[in-house]
Amino acid sequence: MKKTLIISLVTTFVFGLFSCSTSKLSPEVQEYQKKLQEQVETQNYRFVANYAIPRGNFQPRYLTSEYDLKISKDTVEAFLPYYGVAYEAPVDLTGGGIKFTSKDFDYVLNHGKRPGNWIVNIRIKDQRREIILTLNIWENGDADLNVMDTSRQSIFFRGKIE
């Protein structure tokens, strides 16, 4: 009796495992993933940050306002907060955070280690200082952004591609 019960439980578990692994994505999910891939490849998307992780002794925090990074073929526009150590004083004291509009930048798209993962490296060339943005994007729209600025400690954001 116990042996039959154990065999039936194992069989049920194995068939359940196979049915989960062979399930197909819904048409809506497939359409979203296709649209996201097209946006990333044609440089037409927006990263919306909802969580900031500063380097050093600063606490990570959820963002309550809408901060974003807009990317198009000819422009990169950043409106992001900054928490961390600055190595030089800003020229304009009203320009806190990471705020710029760039028309001169390098955009390099690489496929990640897994299918449906992209790594985007953007090097901003027309600002007073060099800024390097690294976006790690997944097929479900989740993304991480690392901002490296020569005059500040780097900062990391989590968010979504829209």
In a domain, 13, yes or no: no
91 or 49: which leads in pLDDT: 49
Percentage, residues of the chain above pLDDT 70: 81
pLDDT at 10 exceeding the cut of 50: no
CATH of the domain at 41: 2.40.128.410
Residue 152 has pLDDT above 60, yes or no: yes
Name residues whose C-beta falls within 8 Å of residue 50's C-beta, 6 or more positions apart in sequence: 62, 63, 158, 159, 160
Note the pTM of the prediction, 2 decimals.
Answer: 0.79
17 assigned to some structural domain: no
Q: Does residue 74 lie in a domain region? A: yes
- For the ranges 22-31, 42-51, 60-69, which has the lowest average pLDDT? 22-31
Question: Residue 75 and residue 105: Cα distance in Å, rounded?
Answer: 8
Establish if 133 belongs to a structural domain. yes
Residue 37 lies in a domain: yes
The predicted pLDDT at position 123 comes to 96
Nearest one of 153, 131, 156, 155 to 87, comparing CA atoms: 153
**Residue 150 belongs to what domain range?**
28-161
Residue at 19 is within a domain: no
Residue 10 lies in a domain: no
In a domain, 11, yes or no: no
Angstrom distance (rounded) from CA 1 to CA 7: 10
pLDDT beyond 80 at 74: yes
Total domain count for the chain?
1
